[in-house]
Amino acid sequence: MAADNNRPIRFGIIGCAQIARKVSRAINLSPKSTLYAIASRSTEKAKQFAIKNNLSDTVKVYGTYDALLDDPMVEAVYMPLPTSLHLEWAVLAAKKKKHLILEKPTALIVDELDRIIEECEINGVQFMDGSMWYHHPRTAKVKELISDSKVFGQIRYIHSSSSFIGPPDFLETNLRVKPDLDAHGALGDAGWYCIGAILWAMNFQLPTTVTALPTLSRNSAGVILTCAASFNWQKEQTTATFYCSFLAHETMDLAISGSNGTIHIEDLIIPYEEASAPFRFTLGAKFVDLHIGWNVKPEEVNVGTELPQEVLMVSEFARLVKGINDLGWKPDGKWPAISRGTQLVMDAINKSIGLGFEPVYM
């Protein structure tokens, strides 16, 4: 029987975290997917999530995660659970043949992520983490520019930051500051983006060394609230730094300096607007005579998109799932590889912190 190319992929959501509101909207906005079921630790909590987000009455509501995973109609799962629960439930989802979008950070350590990826590979299901910015067309446009060595030159320095100050009770009650739920704190939540952006700029080549910087702050439970690190690529002679924090004003920056040009993005993780995203670049800049100014000004480019980046993420994932389920494709190994590289570097930063901010060779 021929595959129905127009049938949307049926998604389930396991966990009613705040980010699940955004992704449930994205699933329903994507022409390639539909929200089929949600699950929480209680039926009442799942029902309240459905009401709060105006979900259709046709969406199934489950009071346990197992019940959703046992539903044969669910083809793919989005899982925004606390990091400490990822290993158990992601492995079970893969065993149940559910394709998986796993919220970041993907695991507590890379060994756990390897177990999740291995189970996905064994069961032939697609894995992807929930980093949305990779899927915005701006990302491809900037990659095209920095990849042209004749125009941009060789990448010499990269800096990224991700920071915010949460609501008044954030530092006391949010799961991201609880060691038994999300032990990586700001490093896992905000730093994941910074690490990913830097590796993306370097075509996901791991650095030679990773060194945590003494700009480190923890809460009384030992969870990281502020963190910074530097990376070095010895052969390429490239350096990168990042800063992440729950204690600083909102930033989502990425700056890339090449031998012939520079690029700046101020809203990498969440664009200022859904319909377009800007970046600024300068090529061939020099000081004018007497060093009283520059010969060029940065040029701003706005990259439009018909769908928000989270919808594009869901759509790409659904496209891959459709190919695997209906056309016999193999899962795309690019996405688990990206997650694994990010996890490896995050682990190295934690190791460097434990060594008193000494370099860790990758």
Of all helices (H) and strands (E), which one includes residue 78?
strand 76-79
Reduced to 3 states, what is the DSSP secondary structure of residue 132?
coil
Question: How, if at all, do strands 9-14 and 76-79 pair?
Answer: parallel
Which are the contacts of 174, defined by CB distance < 8 A and separation ≥ 6? 166
Q: Is 108 exposed, middle or buried (0-12, 13-18, 19+ CB in 10 A)?
A: buried
**Cα gap 72→83, rounded to integer Å:** 26
How far is the C-alpha of 360 from the C-alpha of 171, rounded, in Å?
30
- For residues 9 and 75, give the distance between their C-alpha atoms in angstroms, rounded to a whole number: 7
What CA–CA distance (Å, rounded) separates 134 from 103? Answer: 14
Of the residues 32, 98, 104, 322, which is catalytic?
104
Helix, strand or coil, per DSSP, at residue 242 = strand
Residue 334 annotated to the active site: no
Q: Where are the beta strands (DSSP E) in the chain?
A: 9-14, 33-39, 60-62, 76-79, 99-102, 127-129, 155-163, 209-212, 217-218, 224-233, 238-245, 251-258, 261-265, 276-283, 299-304, 360-361
What b/e sequence results for 297-333 when a residue is b if at least 16 CB atoms lie within 10 Å of its CB, and e otherwise?
eeeebebebebbbbbbbbbbbbbbbbbbbeeeeebbe
Are 246 and 185 a contacting pair, CB within 8 Å?
Answer: yes
CA distance 355 to 362: 15
Task: Say which amino acid occupies 23.
Answer: V
Query: What is the rounded CA–CA span in Å between residue 47 and residue 52?
Result: 9
The set of catalytic residues is 104
